[in-house]
Structure 1
Amino acid sequence: MEQAMSDSWKLTLPCTLAEAQALNGEVPALAMLVSPPVLMTSEDEPDNPDAWRLDAYFEVEPDDEAIAIIRRLVPSAGRKKPRIERLDEQDWLTMSQSGLEPVHAGRFYVHTSTHAGTAPSGTRAFLIEAGLAFGTGQHETTTGCLLTLDALKQRGAVFRDMLDLGTGTGLLAFAAMHLWPHAYATASDIDPIAIDVTRENAALNGIRIGNREGRLALAVAPGMSHRLLRHRAPYDLIIANILAGPLIEMAAPIAGALEEGGTLILAGLLDSQAERVANAYRRQGLRLADRIDRGDWPTLRLVKRRGK
């Protein structure tokens, strides 16, 4: 991925330790932005353990909408005016990646180029750079999905036709393909940038693109409305790490694309939203089989009942 060198910007606001911890990794609210920033948090006052700082790195000068979204992430800043500065001749992407620690989830190890060569023995390493798409592996929702996939493999599950809906960086599709290398695999996203990023990440991680078994087919699509997605249905595995609202709205088409007995993995929702999301899919003939909780972020595993 090409890195911005001179037209980058940094927005800085104070925050609390709790707010900094909540921003550790991917932040769903940033998906609303055309050019989402990379976030970094750090201690601001060594003698005050609750005084932290949020730095948001943008490829373009942040507009009013972007500033408002960042402000909502740190309500403790109140009406304090953010400091916005242009970064001259700085490789902001590499700098920001230095703060992203690798994620070890089951048999998967997700890292940026800063931590290349650090994968523990016996893990499948994926190089996913921080950048323009949601899904670097840092957020608890992505980690929960990786752990759920790993647990399914340990139980002996076998899948033949898989869909990663709202793929972001392609990571979850890559992980599923590693576990079930002979399956047909599809990844889609409403954002064409995400599909471009997925294609680049596939090349970096040895994932073959194409429509054949063992290759990843890509589609820019809102929800299930794409000829490729409809043609490949029904799926025996669908992964949707999106947000609670869209998951509820798309319950009928997602459930309709899942074969009887098929597995659905849902993430991107808060613990307070889990029951509403699960109920939306129960009404479509699915049952909640399992869940993994990572902080306030649950990952739900549902199974479609037979005869529905």
Structure 2
Amino acid sequence: MSWKVTAHAPRGVIEAALLAHEDALDWNPDIIIAGSEVAEDRPDDWVLEAWLEARPTAAVRNAIAALFAAGAPPLTVERLPDTDWLTQSQQGLEPIRAGCFHVRTPERPALAEPGVIDFAIPASRAFGTGHHETTAGCLAMLAAMKQRGVIVRNCADIGTGTGLLAFAALALWPRALAIASDIDAVCGAVVADNAARNGIAIGARAGELVMTIAPGMDSPLIAARGPYDLVMANILAGPLIALAPDFARALVPGGHLLLAGLLTGQEAKVRAACRRAGLRLAARMVRGDWSILWLRRRPAR
């Protein structure tokens, strides 16, 4: 990203702007929006950041400002050096534990403890190193599913990023069929590299992973390999709401759906969409400002 637009405001203001962004159906996908707290010791001070390739025009600045219903705070525009900011920001990350999982960058040593499943995921342009609350929460929820006796024979990871959640599912249910997908073509090579690094076989047989590039569930391959015992999607609240009926149709009766990428303030809308699609809540988890939901398709009568 070559340019960044920044706005500082209280947490509630930034969260409202993020919700407005989710609801903006005509939003330019080339403008990437994110919000976060400024520092751990200042939980009410937040920043909204927008990244884009070209210098922001007046129309772009107005679109960002329009996300703030009560009037936008001052917007700061800066040009960034030619750096892969996502990869650089992930360098030197500390390993994380989530349930039975230990996730680290390749420079860190593996954790050789009984019962620990270790993954090495390098910093990359794809989302999902395990360090974000949503990814770590999904790992913890998968471990909880396994502990509660869930059996998975066929699973799908939608919006896979690095492939980590698909790897985790195969580690817990090693004889399952598995498919991972992402809308971003760069993820194909990223998942292949990470699979090789972590001993995950690429292929169509049980215990192997198929990777495809597709928007949401819109893939003949995803359709052909269903229905699924488990569908995972760590994306954004807007797509989760839109895809809820597709998720439900892709599940076997009684099948499991793991959702993340939604702020706690967005949870009610996501759960309502899932309820309309015939999905009921089995468990929920909150990590920071993020909700992780385990839902189930209603069993056949």
- After TM superposition, the score normalised by the length of structure 2 is 0.77
Deviations 1:44-63 (A, max 9, x none): xxxx989x999x9x9x9665
Work out whether 1:84 is the aligned partner of 2:85: no
Percent of paired sites with the same residue: 44
Q: Distance in 2 between matches of 1:63 and 1:168?
A: 27
Aligned equivalent of 1:289: 282
Q: Contact 2:3–2:56 at 8 Å: present in 1 too?
A: no
Aligned mate of 2:222, from 223, 229, 233: 229
Q: Contact 2:105–2:122 at 8 Å: present in 1 too?
A: yes
Work out whether 1:64 is the aligned partner of 2:59: no
Q: Contact 1:287–1:304 at 8 Å: present in 2 too?
A: yes
Aligned mate of 1:269, from 243, 262, 273: 262
Aligned equivalent of 2:119: 126
Alignment of 1:16-165 (within 5 A): 63-64=55-56, 78-79=73-74, 81-86=76-81, 95-114=88-107, 116-119=108-111, 121-122=113-114, 123-165=116-158
SS of equivalent residue, structure 1 residue 250: helix
Q: CA deviation at 1:195?
A: 2.3
Q: Distance in 2 between matches of 1:128 and 1:289?
A: 29
Residue 33 to residue 169, structure 1, CA distance change in 2 (3 Å) = farther
Work out whether 1:191 is the aligned partner of 2:184: yes
Residue 213 to residue 282, structure 1, CA distance change in 2 (3 Å) = same
Deviations 1:170-229 (A, max 9, x none): 010000000001000010111211222112211111111111111001111112221111
Superposed CA RMSD in Å reads 4.0
Aligned equivalent of 2:166: 173
Aligned equivalent of 2:233: 240
Q: Which amino acid aligns with 2:132?
A: H
- Structure 1 gaps of 5+ residues are 1-7, 23-27
Aligned mate of 1:249, from 239, 242, 250: 242
Deviations 1:74-122 (A, max 9, x none): x9x95364443536xx8977753334222210111112234x2153523
Q: Contact 1:39–1:96 at 8 Å: present in 2 too?
A: no
Q: CA deviation at 1:145?
A: 0.6
Q: CA deviation at 1:268?
A: 0.8
SS of equivalent residue, structure 1 residue 287: strand
Q: Contact 2:9–2:73 at 8 Å: present in 1 too?
A: no
Q: CA deviation at 1:155?
A: 1.7
Aligned equivalent of 2:25: none
Q: Distance in 2 between matches of 1:278 and 1:78?
A: 32
Q: Report how many aligned residue pairs link the two structures.
A: 284
Q: CA deviation at 1:38?
A: 12
Q: Contact 2:130–2:136 at 8 Å: present in 1 too?
A: yes
Q: Contact 1:12–1:53 at 8 Å: present in 2 too?
A: no
- After TM superposition, the score normalised by the length of structure 1 is 0.75
Q: Distance in 2 between matches of 1:154 and 1:291?
A: 15
Aligned equivalent of 1:3: none
Q: Distance in 2 between matches of 1:136 and 1:240?
A: 15
Question: Which stretch of structure 1 is more off in the superposition, 118-127 or 296-305?
Answer: 118-127
Q: CA deviation at 1:16?
A: 8.6
Q: CA deviation at 1:276?
A: 1.6
Q: Which amino acid aligns with 1:86?
A: P
Residue 222 to residue 53, structure 1, CA distance change in 2 (3 Å) = closer
Q: Contact 2:139–2:165 at 8 Å: present in 1 too?
A: yes
Q: CA deviation at 1:10?
A: 8.6
Residue 146 to residue 155, structure 1, CA distance change in 2 (3 Å) = same
Q: CA deviation at 1:138?
A: 1.5
